[in-house]
Amino acid sequence: MKRFFKTFAILAAATTVSIVADDASAQVTSSAYSTGGVARSSASGSGNVRLNASAAASNGGYANARMTGSGYNGGRATGNAIAASNGGVAIANGRSVANGWNARSNSNAIAASNYGTAIANDSARAYGNASANSMSGAFTTGGVSIANGSAVARGRWGGRAVANNTAISAVDYGVGVANGSARSNAMFGGRAISNSGAYSVGVGGFRSSGASANAGAIFGGQSISNAYHFGP
């Protein structure tokens, strides 16, 4: 497991500095790297978008990657925020909102730190005829690992609403916490599905987990809700 976390942190750091180069067509990207200092990266956006923000710091540095987004009336806004640190602090945030009809949204936040602190937050929302996905992952060895997440989807007036969420916290001999939540509701003939999962894994130390899922279909339609929790 230790080897896994160390390898993951190294690979994540490599990904942060190369991900933009591999996707030249991407709209709104940002990347930062620091050796022993502070690496901050931020990406923002507006109409339609697909976003990315990456930050990597080595030698006990601080890496912070943020990402927001929007999408407006035709929807679509994806995301990604990756922060990796070796022996320091890695924080990744994210948020992706898609608004109009057939709106879909996606947000990922991944933070990895080797013998440090890794925090990942993440949120995805989609409104009209929606679909929203969310994923938060925090990985560390011998440190603190926290992952949150959320996904909200609403689908009004004959729409469908789907919200998925996964929150993963993995730590060896440290503190790991994972939360997760997914909400969904569809109105007037819609279909609402909501899934959520929270997983805390590792060896030794303190682990916690949580999950919440809500789905509602009003005035016809179907409502399905699942929640998963794993925290031995």
Whole-model pTM: value is: 0.84
pLDDT for position 192: 87
Cα–Cα distance between 8 and 114 in angstroms, integer?
9
Residue percentage of the chain with pLDDT more than 70: 86
Residues 154-196 pLDDT 10s: 887 766 889 999 999 998 888 999 999 999 988 776 688 999 9
Residues 7-54 pLDDT 10s: 444 445 444 444 443 444 458 899 999 988 899 999 999 888 899 999
Residue percentage of the chain with pLDDT more than 90: 52
Which stretch of 20-34, 49-63, 90-104, 111-125 has the lowest confidence by average pLDDT?
20-34
Do the Cβ atoms of 164 and 149 come closer than 8 Å? Answer: no
Residue 65 pLDDT > 90: yes
Residue 215 pLDDT > 60: yes
Residue 79 pLDDT > 90: yes
The tokens 């959520």 sit on which residue? 196
In this prediction, residue 232 has a pLDDT band, given cuts at 50, 70 and 90, of low
Do the Cβ atoms of 192 and 185 come closer than 8 Å? Answer: yes
Q: Which amino acid is at 57?
A: A
pLDDT for position 173: 82
In this prediction, residue 143 has a pLDDT band, given cuts at 50, 70 and 90, of confident
Alpha helices in 115-221 (DSSP H): none
For the chain, helix, strand, coil in percent to 5 are 10, 55, 35
Q: Which residue has the higher pLDDT, 146 or 87?
A: 146
- Mean of the pLDDT values across residues 135-147? 91
In this prediction, residue 108 has a pLDDT band, given cuts at 50, 70 and 90, of very high
Cα–Cα distance between 189 and 156 in angstroms, integer?
9
